Amino acid sequence: MKSFLTRLASGIILLAIAITACAFGGYVLLPVLYFISLIAYKELTNALGPGEAGRIGTPEAVGLLGISVYYITMYAARNAKYGAEPLYLLIVVVAVVLAELFIYVLKFPKYESVDIEASVFAFMYAPLMLSFVYLTRESTIGIYTVWLILISSWGCDTCAYVVGILIGKHKIFPVLSPKKSLEGCIGGILGAALIGGVYAYFFVNPVFEDKNTVASVAVICAVGAVMSMFGDLAASAIKRNHNIKDYGNLIPGHGGIMDRFDSMIITAPMTYFLSIILLGL
């Protein structure tokens, strides 16, 4: 009972922080995502092998510096309205990869290829993907679409858990995630779509009276829900491959940042791209 209450309290606090950051956006959301990205990056490098708790090697240092440069560039390009934001961000990503390769060559054989691969993967996986939360929020209609990320990830998680507990019988990933059921997965997808549709009906449609957004938002949330489950499973697969229970212990009752934000990491870019296609973000 105590562990459940701890998990519930942590979940409520996280939700409050997420809602506040997304509501204000800009200078409030950016540092929150930056902080989360730094921790997620370190958790991933620790899990993948080269990283060690309390120690930062050169490949990791390059990755952490790259995260800082990436987020600064994203904020500056967005606020200066350069009109070429994707180009500037792509330059940073390529620069990080090249810097890691330089470290690999210049310090050979101190670091093995797996060290560089882990550092680059960790950079691309969490920090870069999470940045789409900011890109979505700061877009033209971001005040409305950013909530689809939360609905697709945490809304799906909640609905899948409830349906799975009530009627879940058929295990869909018995080796990777024994507790996940086919019924729960379907319930998560349909639940996210329903929540998204209701949200669009009451909050988005009244603003955009010239078009019906309910169907588009429901589709975005449904696809996002599918991606959120794969994000959760991918993070679980990494843990199983490396024989770890949690990525960290920062969040009481939940584990680390990667344990709690694994689904949102994948949902954010999907929501961003689908919003462009279906809503004209």
Domain span including residue 73: 26-137
Same domain assignment for residues 18 and 30: no
Per-residue three-class SS string for 87-116: HHHHHHHHHHHHHHHHHHHHCCCCCCHHHH
Nearest to 155 by CA among 271, 20, 28, 277: 271
Judge whether residue 103 has pLDDT over 90: yes
Judge whether residue 11 has pLDDT over 80: no
pLDDT value for 249: 79
117, 137, 157: which is the final residue of a domain? 137
Task: Please count the structural domains in the chain.
Answer: 2
pLDDT value for 35: 95
What would the mean pLDDT of 130-140 be, rounded to a whole number? 93
Judge whether residue 53 has pLDDT over 60: no
Same domain assignment for residues 272 and 161: yes
| Least confident window among 3-17, 33-47, 65-79, 151-165 | 3-17
Percent residues over pLDDT 70 in the chain: 93
Tens digits of residue pLDDT in 202-237: 999 888 876 778 999 999 999 999 999 999 999 989
Same domain assignment for residues 167 and 156: yes
18-34 as b/e, with b when 16 or more CB fall inside 10 Å? beebbeebeeebbebbb
pLDDT value for 1: 54
Give the position of tokens 């440069």: 69
Q: Please, which pLDDT band fits residue 85 given cuts at 50, 70 and 90?
A: confident
Same domain assignment for residues 155 and 199: yes
| Least confident window among 9-13, 21-25, 51-55, 156-160 | 51-55
269-273: long-range contacts at Cβ-Cβ below 8 A with a sequence spacing of 24 or more?
269/129, 269/132, 270/152, 270/223, 270/224, 270/227, 271/132, 271/136, 271/145, 271/148, 271/149, 271/152, 271/220, 271/224, 272/132, 272/135, 272/136, 272/139
C-alpha 239/C-alpha 47 separation (Å) is 7
| Least confident window among 60-64, 87-91, 142-146 | 87-91
Judge whether residue 54 has pLDDT over 60: no
- 3-class DSSP assignment, residue 26: helix
pLDDT value for 151: 94
Judge whether residue 130 has pLDDT over 70: yes
SS3 content of the chain, % helix, strand, coil (to 5): 75, 0, 20
Same domain assignment for residues 50 and 131: yes
Q: Please, which pLDDT band fits residue 52 given cuts at 50, 70 and 90?
A: low
Same domain assignment for residues 19 and 31: no
What would the mean pLDDT of 118-131 be, rounded to a whole number? 94
Same domain assignment for residues 16 and 151: yes
pLDDT value for 169: 83
What would the mean pLDDT of 83-93 be, rounded to a whole number? 81
Judge whether residue 177 has pLDDT over 90: no
Same domain assignment for residues 46 and 158: no
Same domain assignment for residues 4 and 49: no
Same domain assignment for residues 21 and 146: yes
pLDDT value for 22: 92
Tens digits of residue pLDDT in 253-268: 677 899 888 889 999 9
